[in-house]
Amino acid sequence: MSNKETTGAGGESMKSKYAFVVAANEKYLPPLNVLLNSLEKVGNKQDVHLISWALPAKYLAKLDQLGYRVIVHEVSGIPEMQALGEGEVLMRYRYALLDVEYDAICVLDADSCIIRNLDIWFEIADKADVIIGCGLEQKRTYGEGFEEHHKVDGKHILPKTWNEKDICCSPLFYSPKFSDAFVFSWKIFADYPPERRFRGPDMDSVNLSIMKFGYQNRVIALAEATWSGLHETLLKPCSHVCEMHGNLWTVNGEELFVLHGQFLSSVWQGWQLDGQLKMIDRELNGSETCKALARNCLAFLVDYVKKMAEYKVKIDG
């Protein structure tokens, strides 16, 4: 269903044991470039499958500078994909792109920055036959009586079910043993007309599909602070980011693996800082020390991501 172009690692064609899958359009090109450069920095050798919606050919041609293969799947010209819509395809198709071609797969959002090599997490997903994701802060109830936009063909897929293993859609490692659930999460959207398809977010369809296939007991939920840094976690006084021996940690000594967010956007930066400053006013008596810490941590993270933007492949020049 997609055209393939292979680039990177000097054009070598040998497939790696594991693979990342990421999707992006031109709007997401700056954070995507950070992601690809950050993988280079941590010594990644695993294939990256890139679902492209009209990414610039000039940029894609530069990806042979990387030390790993990037396999580009250009979907913008495919009539079926055009009918489904650019944003929906980029969110959802990444779960159905690969089936059993690799021993383990990791789905990433394009606005991710990798801090440490992730091979060991592929190995865990592969050898232990598990699904590994970042735990959601709030767990949710799915199925009958909840979320009308979760219906498919007018019916709920599940009875009323509270999901104690609710996970984010990125990063998401899984063994091909569970591919049927992830392909299903795409099909409940792609195989139905607009009025009958699943209309909830891709994260909801993934969690619902895991439950439908009975795989929730094979889910390992990772800590949000070290695997995304969302909800201003890395700006908070008791979990903020720090640097030791040339790498990133929380102040509690936990290794950071992934940063997730629009760190190159001044608007997004403003939202993060505003949210944290309001929390300090509400819960920490407006501590100026904590506010200064939050500002410094955000500036540190933004600077780190900007360095990744220039690390190897550059968008311009």
Domain ranges of the chain: 3-222, 225-309
Per CATH, domain 3-222 is 1.20.1440.230: no
Is the previous residue joined to 171 through a cis bond, with omega within 30 degrees of 0? yes
Mean pLDDT of 157-165: 91
pTM (two decimals): 0.93
Contact 297, 249 (CB under 8 A): no
Rounded Cα distance, 205 and 192, in Å: 14
Asked whether the predicted pLDDT for residue 190 surpasses 60, the reply is yes
Higher pLDDT, 141 or 303: 303
Asked whether the predicted pLDDT for residue 153 surpasses 90, the reply is yes
Q: Smallest Cα–Cα separation from 206: which of 299, 70, 96, 315?
A: 96
Pairing assessment for the beta strands 18-25 and 247-250 based on DSSP bridges:
unpaired
305 token code pair: 């991501």
- Scan for tokens 């007309």, then name that residue: 193
Range 248-253, long-range pairs (CB < 8 A, 24+ positions): 248/115, 248/304, 250/225, 250/226
Backbone angles phi, psi at 66, to 5 degrees: -80, 155
Element (H, E) at 250: strand 247-250
CA distances from 238 to 79, 100, 183, 285, 295 (A): 50, 42, 39, 15, 15
Mind listing the pLDDT tens digit for each residue in 72-124? 999 999 999 999 999 999 999 999 998 668 999 999 999 999 999 999 999 99
Contact 94, 174 (CB under 8 A): no
